[in-house]
Chain A
Amino acid sequence: MLARAIAAEWLKLKRKWILALAVIGPLGVVLLQAVNYGLRYDYVMKQNADDPWGGLLQATTGLMLPALFIGLALVASLSAGVEHAAGGWKQLLALPLTRLQVFAAKTLLTLLLLLLSCTLLAVFTLAFGAVLGFSLQELPWPDLLRQSYAPYAAAMPFVALQIGLSLAIGNQAVPMTIGVLGMVVSLFGMLLPDWVPYNWPWLALKAETALRAAAAGLGGGLLLLAAGCMHFTRKDVS
């Protein structure tokens, strides 16, 4: 049933350029790095002479976190927005499937698209390093994987928040505004105390704190998802 619900969700997002969005996000992040390296190749390479991969990964992070924040808000809003635009909740929810299945289908599709973006970021970063002639033998796999996936896990409370808001509020300008504000705040996340969720994606980038930040993010995200799901399954459809 869930697979069918996800297949239906997927079809609803046709012509919404959502797959393109999932590809363009990480591609943009790496292309901007290409510009960075293209403009000042000698300087950047000299700076990171002893650790070229490390330099590339570090340079990418500054761009990927804002992209992640805006991307998760966009994907969550698109998936809920098609229903609000259609006045479609009543048709969808009068079909023989539970509210939980509807919520789960939309949430899983959002999570999968974001996971795809994170994976593509790793692939594009690796490809770009290879193009620059970095040795694949020296590639720090743990760093690459941590950088690609740990911030995603740490940002899970925001994914859950945006899904909940997008489903609950008909006017998608509201969750999108909150999402954009979240991105702005997240830019200064590392200046905030460790317990503030906006700092978690940054903490997830560092080897010492990555595990804790990812675990906190997943835990917090699950709690928020449960709350959003409860609200969604109980409310009357207007």
Chain B
Amino acid sequence: MDMNHGIGQPLGQEGRQPWLLETSGLTKKLGGKAVVRDVELRIGEGDIYGFLGPNGAGKTTTIRMLLGLAKPTRGRVTVFGKDLAKNRLDILRQVGSLVEYPSYYGHLTGRENLEVVRRLLDAPQERIAEALGIVRLEKDANRLVKGYSLGMKQRLGIAAALLGHPRLLVLDEPTNGLDPAGIQEIRELIKSLPQQRGVTILLSSHLLSEVEQMATRVGIITSGSLVYQDRIEQLKRRTAGRIRLAVSEPEAAWKRLLEQGWEARRDERGLTVPGGDDRDIAAIVAELVRERHAVYRVEEERSSLESVFLEMTGTGGSL
């Protein structure tokens, strides 16, 4: 809890109460070690919430607890304003999920796989055709699933998750292992869902690039702790990072810029300046040219998720 307040924007101050999904002090210990520690997720209605973190950070464990597949050691999960521990079935009726790799019965056809889920949900028959249509699997619906490509299996998993017309869709690493075309396809599908069906989506990934094109909010988890949670624009501002300048004499150029009061940094590959304001960049370049530095290249250097992580979890907590 305190950690979260120390880093990033204070949680839950965006005036979007009540949250569709909210956890408080969510903790899971396995063999005495906390794999998820005091996680405070806040997901608003209509969000595409990108749940980011490196492999093994506790994303899937958290998601398992959100779905009642694993019991929290401590803490509470509230979905649709109800306590998950007490209203599990009520909540799950309105939640569709795809956890990690898709689960499917390979000896059944795509349609039969959906029929299994339909029977358990007691959903009307038409939903199967509808779900197949959304993920565009109509043509392959009567083939055995063991002959499906990974992308098709993933789409079938999403179709199964959509079958009950959920209010909340939980997708754990939905593009894992897909080829670029498959990733593109799933991405388009996910992006279209909130507008078309009014669902809220929780989407986990270990790739920031993956999530930033879809998400409206992000949470970043590392070593079991949620270290960041805010709107995507806030995170983009952080990753927008710096402008790298390749110049003929970086040492002299750096000193000059510092003298002029610019916040320049020198490293082994040259120098960088903050990339916030276009006019600042123009002024810096003009200054360097005036000083007769040859400016070879001006490029935006976007920090990778790893460097964002380092920034967020590194010593001193620079955020």
Contacts and interface: CB of A to CB of B under 8 A. Distances in A.
Contacts of B100: 87, 90
A98 B92 CA distance: 10
Given A12-B105, A14-B107, A87-B101, A93 B116 contact: no
Given A15-B108, A86-B105, A237 B93 contact: no
A82 interface: yes
B92 A96 contact: yes
A222 interface: no
Interface in B85-116: 89-90, 92-93, 95, 97-108, 112, 115-116
A91 interface: yes
Interface stretch (B7-15, B64-72, B233-241): B64-72
A94 B97 contact: yes
A7 B69 CA distance: 23
Nearest to A7: B119
B120 interface: yes
B121 interface: yes
Contacts of A16: 107
Contact of A90 (B64, B93, B95, B107): B64
A181 B103 CA distance: 32
A88 B97 CA distance: 12
B70 A4 contact: no
Contacts of B135: none
Contacts of A5: 119-120
B160 A91 contact: yes
Interface in B42-75: 64, 67-71
Contacts of B2: none
B217 to A, nearest CB: 23
Contact of A88 (B67, B93, B104, B119): B104
B250 to A, nearest CB: 52
Contacts of B119: 4-5, 7-8, 11
A97 B98 CA distance: 17
Contact of A15 (B69, B71, B107, B115): B107
Interface in B295-311: none
A42 interface: no
A196 interface: no
Query: For A11, A12, A82, A91, which residue has the most chain B Cβ atoms within 10 angstroms?
Result: A91
Contacts of B108: 11-12, 14-15
Contact of B67 (A7, A82, A86, A94): A94
A95 interface: yes
A84 to B, nearest CB: 10
A62 to B, nearest CB: 35
Contacts of B106: 85-86
A15 B103 CA distance: 18
Nearest to B65: A236
Contacts of B69: 90, 93-94, 236-237
Contacts of B70: 236-237
Interface of A: 1, 4-5, 7-8, 11-12, 14-16, 82, 85-98, 236-237
21 contacts: A4-B119, A11-B108, A11-B115, A14-B107, A14-B112, A15-B108, A85-B105, A86-B106, A87-B101, A87-B103, A90-B67, A90-B103, A91-B97, A91-B99, A91-B103, A91-B117, A91-B157, A91-B160, A95-B92, A95-B117, A236-B69
Given A96-B90, A236-B64, 7 more contacts: A4-B119, A12-B105, A15-B107, A82-B107, A90-B69, A94-B99, A236-B71
